[in-house]
Structure formats: C-alpha cells, structure tokens
Amino acid sequence: MKNSIKSLVVMAIIAIAGTTFAQSTGNSASATGTANATIVCPISLTAGTITFGTFVSPAAATTVSLDNAGVATYGAGTNPGSQGGAHSASTWNVTGQGGWTYNLTDDATRAFTISDGAGHTMTGNANAPSGSNPRTLAGDGCNGTGSFTQGGTVNVGAGQVSGTYSTGNSGGSGWSETVTYN
C-alpha cells in the first residue's frame, strides 16, 4: 500500500510536467539545411576544315583521301605532283573544364558535299576522329583544352569540272561533331 501511494504521487507530477511541456517548445522544431550547386565551364567546340588541296581532274571517277595526320592518297589521274599546294586534315579544338572528360559523337557517316557554287559538286566522308572516348580536357579551371583531327575522302568524278569547291558554297554541306561532358 505504501508503494502504491508513492506511485500515484509520481504519476501526478509527471502529468503536470507533461502538460506544461507540450505547450512550450516541444511542439515545434526547426533545422537548417544547405543548398549547393556547382557551375561548370561550358564546353565548346571549334570546327575544323579538311583541306584536300589542289588535284587534277581524272579521266575516270576516283577518290582523293587524307588520313587523320593529313597524308594524302590520290586516286588514278589526280596526283598534282609538287604543284598541289598544301593539304591537311582538319583540327578541331575543344575548351571547357580542365580535368573533365568528354565524349565525341557524330552521325557515323560524316558525309559532306563540296560545291563550286555553280552546280558542280563532289561528295565525301570525313574519317572517324582521331583518339577515342572518353577524352580528357588538359589544364585547369575554364582553360581546359582538347583537340582531335579528321581527314576524309572526297569522290572525284570523271572529268570533274575545274574550280574551287567548298562546303561553304551554295549546294555544299558539312557534317557535325558533338562534344558532351561525361
């Protein structure tokens, strides 16, 4: 009986305390969270140009090719000898976040058409770009750089009309390469 009385007394005290507590700070709470974001340097790509140089109009349709180092292979009847002038593979430049990696993608055919702007054209395909994915931008901060080269093959028709052909002329078209951060 004595124990029973003690228990009752304790319970009464708790009840009072509980009532008081619920009406004070115990019924609300707050916390501070953080928000964060990292703004990264945009990745950019500057297109290159395959320069096939000057070659001779052949009697039969053939091709002129440049490998990714710019070394030319002339089809029959097109070799200009020492008078062909400069030829080179294209060099594409990438800038972005130094140390980051990116992938290079395209439509796999990399088809182009070069035109003299007067209705005469030659079709061709750029090579698969040098290097392989994933690629890394060298350097720090926003000064990261990368590059790749691309040769290609142009189809030269029999008796191809002489002139200066370019993707930039009317009737010409280029191909696309795309760089994307991983």
Partner 1 sequence: MKKLIKFTVILGVMACTFGSLLAQNTVSKTGSSTGTVVTPITLTWEQPLAFGQIVPSNTDGTACIGVTGLSVPSSDKINETPVCVNCTALSTSEPNAYGGNKFPGPAVFEVTGQKNWHFAITLPANTVVCHLIDLNPGGAPDLLVSSFTAVVGSPGVVGTHGTLSVGIGIMDFAVGGTLTVPANATPGRYQGAFSVSVNYD
Structure tokens given for 31? 């916390």
Q: Is 23 in the site for partner 1 (CB under 8 A)?
A: no
DSSP state of 51: B
Q: Is 141 in the site for partner 1 (CB under 8 A)?
A: yes
CB atoms within 10 A of CB 109: 9
Q: Which stretch binds partner 1 (CB under 8 A): 16-24, 55-63, 75-83, 122-130?
A: 16-24
Comparison of 17 and 47: residue with beta carbon closer to partner 1: 17
**Member of 1, 5, 9, 37 binding partner 1 (CB under 8 A):** 37
Mask for 54-93, x = binds partner 1 (CB under 8 A)? ----------------------------------------
**Member of 7, 28, 83, 109 binding partner 1 (CB under 8 A):** 28
Q: What angle do CA 66, 61, 85 make, to 5 degrees?
A: 40
Which single residue is written with the structure tokens 């200009």?
80
Q: Is 22 in the site for partner 1 (CB under 8 A)?
A: yes
Q: Which stretch binds partner 1 (CB under 8 A): 34-42, 74-82, 85-93, 160-168?
A: 34-42
Cα–chain center distance at 39:
18
63-68 own/partner pairs: CB under 8 Å, 24+ apart: 63/153, 63/154, 63/155, 63/156, 64/153, 64/154, 64/156, 65/151, 65/152, 65/153, 65/154, 66/127, 66/151, 66/152, 66/153, 67/127, 67/151, 68/127, 68/129, 68/130, 68/149, 68/150, 68/151
Comparison of 38 and 82: residue with beta carbon closer to partner 1: 38
Q: Is 139 in the site for partner 1 (CB under 8 A)?
A: no
Q: Is 140 in the site for partner 1 (CB under 8 A)?
A: yes
Residues that bind partner 1 (CB under 8 A): 12, 14-19, 21-22, 25-43, 97-101, 140-142, 181-182
